[in-house]
Every structure is written in C-alpha cells, then in structure tokens.
Structure 1
Amino acid sequence: MTKSQRARHLQQRLALLYPETPVPLDHKDPYTLLVAVLLSAQCTDIRVNLITPKLFAAADNPLDMSKLEVAQIEAIVRPCGLGPQKARAIRELSRMLVEQHQGNVPADLEELEKLPGVGHKTAQVVMAQAFGVPSFPVDTHIHRLAKRWRLSNGKSVIQTERDLKRLFPREAWNQLHLQIIFYGREYCTARGCDGTRCPLCQEVARVSPTSSRSAASAPSVT
C-alpha cells in the first residue's frame, strides 16, 4: 500500500469513526474563538471551556477587553496556565483589533499571526473553524499520529503540515484535522499507544509490519 493509498484508507476510517466534528472550544464568534484557542496552549479544552464563560462575562469583544486591566484578565485565566503571558496577549491583541481592524478578527493568516500570542497553529485554527478556510493546524496529536501512520517523517511541525496537505484533498483538511485530534485523544495517546496498539495503528502495522516500530514515537509539540 502506498502512502497515498494509506492516507485514503485512514481518511475513510476516520470519517466512519467521527462523522460529526464539532469545534471543541466553546465560542460564539471569531473573537471569542481566537481568545479560547490562545488560552488552550498547554491547557485542555475542557478547562478552557470552564474559564471562558467568566472571562466573556467580563468582556466578550475587543473593545471591552482592551479596557480591562491585565491583572483583571489574569485573575480569571490563571487556571489555564501561563496566566501573565496569556492575559497580556489577550489585552494587547484586543487593542490591536480595535485600532487596526475596526474591532474585527481578520480572516487573513498573516494578519492573525501578527497578533500577540497568536502563532501559526492558532491562526490556522481560527481560519479553519471561524472562517471555514481550508487549513491543517498541527497539534501534538496530529504530529504524533502522522508519524505513527507513516504519513510524515515527523521531523518538524511545519513538515508534517506540508506532508498532510499534499496527501489529503483540500476540502477535507478542516474536518480531518479535528478527526485526527479526536482519534488521538480517544485511542492513541502518547502513553496509551506505542504505535502498535490502537485500532488504526494496528491496521497500518498489518500493511507494513516492519515499519510499525520505527513509527512508534514522535517528538512532542507545544
């Protein structure tokens, strides 16, 4: 089975496992999604969803958020970890959205990446989930599974993103990135599978048993 054939097989299997792909982070518009994704760095989606209602009760738009003190924001978001950095980034990006984008989140990857605390992955998540623009954000689960399934060599997140975009049709990127995340969380965690135990890893191993061990581990991504 070639890499392209393996990719098609995995896409079909993931579609059966996860026909629906709801956005894991609660939000009501691009701005609240942007803030939620920023808070999710080194934090679980479950915890973020517990924190954002209180934060958005205080301010749920760039103008109101930019008027809050950093200390006020930090007091709310502290349970998400990296409280001081995240609070400063949220306040500053809110100010920039008001001053440079009329209070709107830009539907432009490069403009998003200019905002404080917004890296390439966060920007891609917003493009995909807020604006429906085909993107393939690579998180820890995707980076690990792409190597275990021998879809990428796993040398870097950027390389993994490029490899997956070449293998899968553009119109499937947004759904696939969520399907792989869901699968990684449910079946193929870093400690729960060594690349040979979960259902899809076993299927890949059966296709090429000698390659399964080399695909067992991948570097972590933050």
Structure 2
Amino acid sequence: MPSKETVNKIIEELERLYPDAGCSLTYSTPLQLLIATQLAAQCTDERVNIVTKELFKKYKTAEDFANADLKALEQDIRPTGFYRNKARNIKECCRMIIEKFNGEVPDSMEKLLMLPGVGRKTANVILGNIYNIPGIVVDTHAKRLSNRMGLTKEEDPVKIEFDLMKIIPREKWSKFSNQLVFHGRAVCKARKPDCEACSIRPYCVYGQKTLK
C-alpha cells in the first residue's frame, strides 16, 4: 500500500486540479440519477445525457417506467448499449421502488442493492450525490487510475472500493471518485496517458516507471 504522505499528495493535487468535480450525469430527481447511472454501464456519460434528455420528458415517474412498454423502452435507450437488459432492469427496479419503498429511491446500500440492475457502483453514486452519504464509486476510470497510481493492485471493483476506503478519508470518498473520472478523461487516458503533462506523476507508480 502507498504511504499516507503519497496518498495525501495525490488527494491534494486532485483537489487543486478539479476543485469542483461532481457527477457528470444530468438529472433533476433521485429517480433520474438512478436511471441515468444504470444506463451509464458500458456507456459514456455524454451519450447517456443525450438519451436521457428526451427519455425524462417521456417517463417522469417510477410508475411511468414500471408501466412502460418494454419494446418501446428498449428503443428509447438503445443508443446506450445492452438496452434489452437495461430496459428490463429499469422496469423491475421501478416496480420494486413502488411496491417496497413507497415510490422513493432508497437511502441505504442494503436497500439499493435489492433493486434489479443496481450494484455497489450505482448505489454509491446515489448515496453520495442524493443523500450525502460518502462512497467510493469504482468505474472504469477509478479502476484504471487507482491501479496506475499504486493505490491498489486489485482488479475486482469491489476489492478496489474497499482498498480505497482504507486509505482515502471518508469525507472525501465521493469527491475523490469524481476527481478520478475528471483526471482520467483529461490526462490519464486509457490508451495513452499523458504522463509528461501530469502533475500527479511524482506520486504515481506508473508515471515513475515512464521516467526510466
């Protein structure tokens, strides 16, 4: 595991670079964020935001999604990929929200994980952005950057989440996750990270290797 000093330096630099980093998905209600996050699986937030701009005009409530024609919903979300599974999960998820949670998006990890199509990543997005309950969101950016930086050696998202929870102060969990996304898009890209332009390089295992 990295030293506390190294972790603090990484946190400080991310805070300097992205002080206002927040959720990239566009939403107005807890339900909209839940749906958008489910659609974001294996899809860019940018494309999801394009799709949901019209989707949320057509489906405004949990009842609207639960009662939607499955084939029509599939076509409405088709550009996000894996649309058949996503449409089925969204309908079942909204039906459960109505039947078990009085139409409200749950506010605990345990309850959120009961919903079809909701894993720890989606649950942490909801908890952090809606209910101000800190959580580490491990998406493709967080997985890639945390490994490159040497914050974890794990590949499994849940194991990465728990590794990061041990070394990142709890009150910073949600924002740190968003900052990793911003840095992954701007500098530490999947195919060709721009290590020469990266101010985190002095504290990054991968960045140090590129110096040799």
TM-score (norm. length: structure 2): 0.92
- Indicate whether 1:202 and 2:172 are aligned: no
Letter in 2 for 1:99: E
* Mean CA deviation greater in 32-41 or 118-127: 118-127
Offset of 1:40 from its aligned partner?
0.3
Alignment of 1:39-58 (within 5 A): 39-58=39-58
Name the CA distance, whole Å, in 1 between partners of 2:141 and 2:207.
Answer: 22
Q: Answer whether contact 2:22 2:175 (CA < 8 A) is retained.
A: no
How has the CA–CA distance of structure 1 residues 55 and 136 changed in structure 2, closer, same or farther, with 3 Å as cutoff?
same
Large movers: runs of 4+ above 6 Å:
none
Letter in 2 for 1:165: M
- State the identity %: 34
Letter in 2 for 1:26: T
Q: Answer whether contact 2:109 2:123 (CA < 8 A) is retained.
A: yes
Letter in 1 for 2:198: P
* Mean CA deviation greater in 62-71 or 37-46: 62-71
How has the CA–CA distance of structure 1 residues 163 and 20 changed in structure 2, closer, same or farther, with 3 Å as cutoff?
same
Alignment of 1:86-105 (within 5 A): 86-105=86-105
Partner residue of 2:160?
Answer: 160
**Residue 116 of structure 1 aligns to a residue in which SS?**
coil
Q: How many residues align?
A: 209
Alignment of 1:34-183 (within 5 A): 34-183=34-183
* Structure 2: unaligned runs, 5 residues or longer: none
Letter in 2 for 1:24: S
How has the CA–CA distance of structure 1 residues 47 and 202 changed in structure 2, closer, same or farther, with 3 Å as cutoff?
same
Offset of 1:201 from its aligned partner?
5.2
Letter in 1 for 2:203: V
How has the CA–CA distance of structure 1 residues 131 and 11 changed in structure 2, closer, same or farther, with 3 Å as cutoff?
same
Q: Answer whether contact 1:188 1:198 (CA < 8 A) is retained.
A: no
- Indicate whether 1:12 and 2:19 are aligned: no
How has the CA–CA distance of structure 1 residues 201 and 93 changed in structure 2, closer, same or farther, with 3 Å as cutoff?
same
Deviations 1:58-114 (A, max 9, x none): 112101221211112111100110111111111111111111111110001111111
Deviations 1:150-174 (A, max 9, x none): 1111342222211211111111111
Offset of 1:197 from its aligned partner?
4.3
TM-score (norm. length: structure 1): 0.88
Deviations 1:25-44 (A, max 9, x none): 00011100000000000111
Q: Answer whether contact 2:148 2:206 (CA < 8 A) is retained.
A: no
Letter in 2 for 1:66: A
Across the aligned residues of Structure 1 and Structure 2, the Cα RMSD in angstroms comes to 1.9
Q: Answer whether contact 1:142 1:181 (CA < 8 A) is retained.
A: yes
* Structure 1: unaligned runs, 5 residues or longer: 214-222
Q: Answer whether contact 2:30 2:126 (CA < 8 A) is retained.
A: yes
Q: Answer whether contact 1:141 1:180 (CA < 8 A) is retained.
A: yes
